């Protein structure tokens, strides 16, 4: 089979287990061969009335199962990577207008770039625009799960969201994002404590906080900063502590867990 082809699967006359094998085959073809599945069909001879054996058998389409599998994969991907963008296309397939569905892609762009504050706006708008009618088609089966995973937008404390995402990325083994968001959460924490009503995205204010923390010389802050810099810039640190931490994964995970526990309390 050529990569990129369009195919239809006919499961008629198959044994009872073949529809499940057909679904798995379709998933394999989509992912491994980049094949477009036009449809999965089953000629249901058993549905012909016994009183009229000459009647044509109805043909059932089973590719709805494939759509459900796509949603399950997207939900698993969201839990693993935090990326909500795939739901944008899936929602458009179910009939949601492109502008509303595109809000998820826009939010994903900001979150993937660690801009938590900017991600809130599109997600809030998405929730508002789908609140009355809900999600269409197959999406309705996953509406509760999807909206539960974006419920953080109602949380006003951006520090807690940054902390939450730092811990999430650490758990997933994404150490670049974990250390970067942990570092930014720490800056947000000190900025909130120093100036509760200030704009936490103000570049100059955040720079002032960083300069103060650098001057104070707290060893835990310095270690987190240096780990973050080493990971973000893909460079070898010239300090022995960071070289030791970066020498193996277990050491890095243990150190980041300790630093987050010490520096990032779960309340502010």
Q: How far apart are the first and last CA of the chain?
A: 57
| pLDDT tens, position by position, 214-268 | 999 899 999 999 999 999 888 777 788 888 998 899 999 999 999 999 999 988 7
Local structure of residue 37 (DSSP, 8 states)? E
- Tens of pLDDT, residues 17-50: 666 777 777 777 777 778 887 877 877 777 777 7
14 band by pLDDT with thresholds 50, 70 and 90: low
Alpha-carbon gap, residue 14 to 7, rounded angstroms: 18
- pLDDT 10s digits, 139-157: 999 999 999 999 888 877 8
Cα–Cα distance measured from residue 240 to residue 237, given in angstroms and rounded to the nearest whole number: 8
User: How many alpha carbons lie under 13 Å from residue 25 in its C-beta half-sphere?
Assistant: 15
Q: Count CB atoms within 10 A of the CB of residue 16.
A: 6
Could you tell me if 40 and 22 are in contact, meaning their C-beta atoms sit under 8 angstroms apart? yes
CA distance 211 to 5: 57
Contact status, residue 243 vs residue 236, Cβ threshold 8 Å? yes
- Tell me if 30 sits within 8 A of 59, measured CB to CB: no
The answer to whether 110 and 122 are in contact (CB under 8 A) is yes
73 vs 18, higher pLDDT? 73
CB 154 within 8 A of CB 127: no
- When pLDDT is cut at 50, 70 and 90, the band that residue 163 belongs to is very high
Which value, to the nearest 10 degrees, does the dihedral of the CA atoms of residues 234, 237, 240, 246 take?
-10
Three-state DSSP state, 85: coil
Q: Is the dihedral of CA 89, 94, 99, 103 positive or negative?
A: negative
- The reported pLDDT for the residue numbered 159 is 92
Between these two residues, 112 and 59, which has the higher pLDDT value? 112
User: What average pLDDT does range 5-14 have in this prediction?
Assistant: 74
Q: Name the strand (E) or helix (H) holding 60.
A: strand 59-61
The 8-class DSSP code of residue 238 comes to S
For 96-143, what is each residue's pLDDT tens digit?
999 999 999 999 999 988 898 899 999 999 999 999 999 999 999 999
Exposure b/e, 122-135, CB count within 10 A at least 16 = b: bbebbeeebeeeeb
pLDDT given for residue 84 in this prediction: 94
CA angle 72, 76, 80 (to 5 degrees): 170
Q: What's the confidence (pLDDT) of residue 17?
A: 67
């Amino acid at each position: 089979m050529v990569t990129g082809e369009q195919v239809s699967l006919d499961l008629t006359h198959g044994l009872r287990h073949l529809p499940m094998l057909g679904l798995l085959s379709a998933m394999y073809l989509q992912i491994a061969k980049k094949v477009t599945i036009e449809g999965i069909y089953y000629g249901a001879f058993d549905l012909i009335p016994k009183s009229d054996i000459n009647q044509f058998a109805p043909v059932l389409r089973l590719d709805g199962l494939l759509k459900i599998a796509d949603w399950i994969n997207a939900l698993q991907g969201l839990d693993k990577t935090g990326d909500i963008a795939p739901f944008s296309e899936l929602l458009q397939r179910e009939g949601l207008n492109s502008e509303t569905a595109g809000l998820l892609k826009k939010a994903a762009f900001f979150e993937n770039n660690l801009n938590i504050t900017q991600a809130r706006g599109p997600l809030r708008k998405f929730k508002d625009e789908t609140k009355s009618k809900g999600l269409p088609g197959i999406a309705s089966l996953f509406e509760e799960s999807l909206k539960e995973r974006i419920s953080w937008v109602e949380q006003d404390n951006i520090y807690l969201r940054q902390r939450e995402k730092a811990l999430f990325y650490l758990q997933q083994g994404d150490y670049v994002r974990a250390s970067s968001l942990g570092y930014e959460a720490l800056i947000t924490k000190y900025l909130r404590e120093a100036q509760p009503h200030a704009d936490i995205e103000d570049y100059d204010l955040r720079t002032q906080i960083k300069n103060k923390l650098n001057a104070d010389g707290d060893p835990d802050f310095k270690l987190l900063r240096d780990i973050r810099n080493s990971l973000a810039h893909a460079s070898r640190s010239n300090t022995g502590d960071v070289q030791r931490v970066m020498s193996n994964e277990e050491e890095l995970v243990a150190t980041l867990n300790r630093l987050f526990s010490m520096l990032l309390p779960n309340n502010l």
